[in-house]
A = this chain, B = another copy of it.
Amino acid sequence: MTGPRYTALAQTLPATVPFVGPEAQERAMAKEFRARLGANENIFGPSPRAIDAMKQASDGIWMYADPESFELRHALAELHGVAAENIVVGEGIDGLLGYLVRLLVEQGDTVVTSEGAYPTFNYHVAGFGGELHKVLYRDDHEDLPALLAKAAEVDAKLVYFANPDNPMGTWISGEAIVAALEALPEGALLVLDEAYVEFAPEGTAPVIDIEDPRVIRMRTFSKAYGMAGARVGYAMGAADLIRNFEKIRNHFGMNRAAQAGALAALHDDEWLNATCEKVVGARAEITRIAAENGLVALPSATNFVAIDCGRDGAYAKAVLDGLVARGVFVRMPFVVPQNRCIRVSCGPRAEMAILAEALPLVLAELG
């Protein structure tokens, strides 16, 4: 008996995981983290209204979710001043990136991103046989003009750009994006990943006509709305582009309670604003802790801060390992020179205090 006959592409793919979860690390260490600051989760949590809505919806979990996410899409449309036809809701930005890549990329098609940017996007591109071309960060920023120039050079179908950026937390203005767009080559689609944009200064989100066929924007309830475990993301773009997701998406992929929670979260601006203020405070606190230890925190427009450990990647990795060993879950950038940093999520005072206590011990140990 032989096994199944996989596609030629599937046979070439590695069984890798974009990120190992903190739970796997906890199992390996046989203890729980004291502070979970590695996955850019929002420890301040979602609106209590969202939690209530999820709990109430749990009583009706015997029902499938509305496959059209009708109410949520309409609420999002109202929020953004667009039509519901401009919005598709999916299983987090991760799920939507997978659908988008599937719609556009077949074997050998070219895609452009930054060296060291979001690995899950790369995972999907590889998973559909796309050829990734990577551009270096410039001064710890994703370099949009360089990305667009590369796209022209390699005739890219897709260009990935996150604003604000992950893992560095840096950002550019919406106006700069609009200006740069003029250089987007014909036939390329810009994926603007705005997972963290609610944390960013006014003006970070560009003003772009929703029917502009050159751009698709990705948003999520995982970050500012504090619902990472719910898996609710959405994409906004031209109605024709959004309609194409209907051809391939898992129409019954959404969790019913998550839909209800997201809808309730949208109706609690006060909580969202308060969260963003708390994040500003926590960023300042991380920056202070870094400085107290002779390290420099990068300016951030997200709910995490990249701390420059001042030496090379091996040293930053040693700092990370020391923090992990002390029960502080953090992650770090993958590539030179960004990997001189560790990446720390914002959190309430208790978590920040654990960081403040652990970091000097780790640094002292490393000498």
Q: How far apart are the CA atoms of A59 and B50 in the complex, in Å? A: 10
CB of A81 within 8 Å of the partner chain: no
In the complex, residue of chain B having the shortest beta-carbon distance to the beta carbon of A55:
B55
Nearest chain B CB to A280 CB, angstrom units = 18
A174 at the interface (CB under 8 A from B): no
Question: Which residues from chain B contact A257 at a C-beta distance below 8 Å?
Answer: 54, 58, 229-230, 255, 257
Q: Chain B contacts of A153 at CB under 8 A?
A: none
Once A1-B212, A240-B3 are accepted as A-B contacts, the answer to whether A247 and B62 lie under 8 Å apart by CB is no
**Given A92-B252, A229-B256, A250-B95, A66–B21 Cβ distance below 8 Å?**
yes
Q: Is the CB of B62 within 8 A of A41?
A: yes
B127 close to A213 (CB less than 8 A): no
Contact B255 A258 (CB under 8 A): yes
Assembled-state Cα–Cα distance A27/B70 (Å): 10
Contacts of A8 in B (CB 8 A): 106
In the complex, chain A residues 140-173 whose Cβ is within 8 Å of any chain B Cβ:
157
Tell me how far the C-beta of A242 lies from the nearest C-beta in chain B, rounded to whole angstroms.
Answer: 10
Within the assembled complex, what's the spacing in Å between the Cα atoms of A69 and B245?
27
Q: Say whether, besides A62-B227, A229-B64, A252-B92, A238 and B3 are in contact (CB < 8 Å).
A: yes
- Secondary structure at the A interface, as helix, strand, loop or mixed, is loop
User: Are A21 and B67 interface neighbours, CB within 8 A?
Assistant: yes
Contact of A46 among B3, B14, B62, B98 (CB under 8 A): B62
Question: In the assembly, what is the distance between CA of A241 and CA of B10, in Å?
Answer: 11
A313 within 8 Å of B by Cβ?
Answer: no
Q: Is A23's CB under 8 angstroms from B230's CB?
A: no
Contact yes or no, B214 A62, CB < 8 A? no
Indicate if A60 sits at the interface (CB-CB under 8 A). Answer: yes
Q: How far is the CB of A125 from chain B (nearest CB, A)?
A: 12
Pick the residue among B19, B23, B62 that contacts A45 (CB under 8 A).
B62
- The residues in A between 335 and 362 inclusive whose CB is less than 8 angstroms from any CB of B are none
Residue of B nearest to A97 (CB): B250
CA distance A45 to B58 in the complex (A): 10
Given contacts A17-B67, A104-B4, whether A43 and B61 have CB atoms under 8 Å apart is no
Q: Are B41 and A7 in contact (CB under 8 A)?
A: no
Cβ of A82 under 8 Å from chain B: no
- A329 CB to nearest chain B CB (Å): 11
Asked if A34 is an interface residue, CB under 8 A from chain B, the answer is no
Minimum CB distance partner of A56 in chain B: B55
Q: Which of B36, B106, B247 contacts A13 (CB 8 A)?
A: B247
Contacts A103-B10, A250-B98, A256-B230; A42 near B62 (Cβ below 8 A): yes
Contact residues of A between 11 and 25, Cβ < 8 Å to B: 13-21, 23-24
Q: Write the chain B residue with the least CB distance to A65.
A: B229
* Cross-chain contact A6 with B58 (CB below 8 angstroms): no
A24-64 interface (Cβ within 8 A of B): 24, 27, 36, 39, 41-46, 51, 54-55, 57-64
> By the criterion CB–CB under 8 Å, are A2 and B57 in contact?
no
Residues on B with C-beta less than 8 A from A91 are: 91, 250, 253
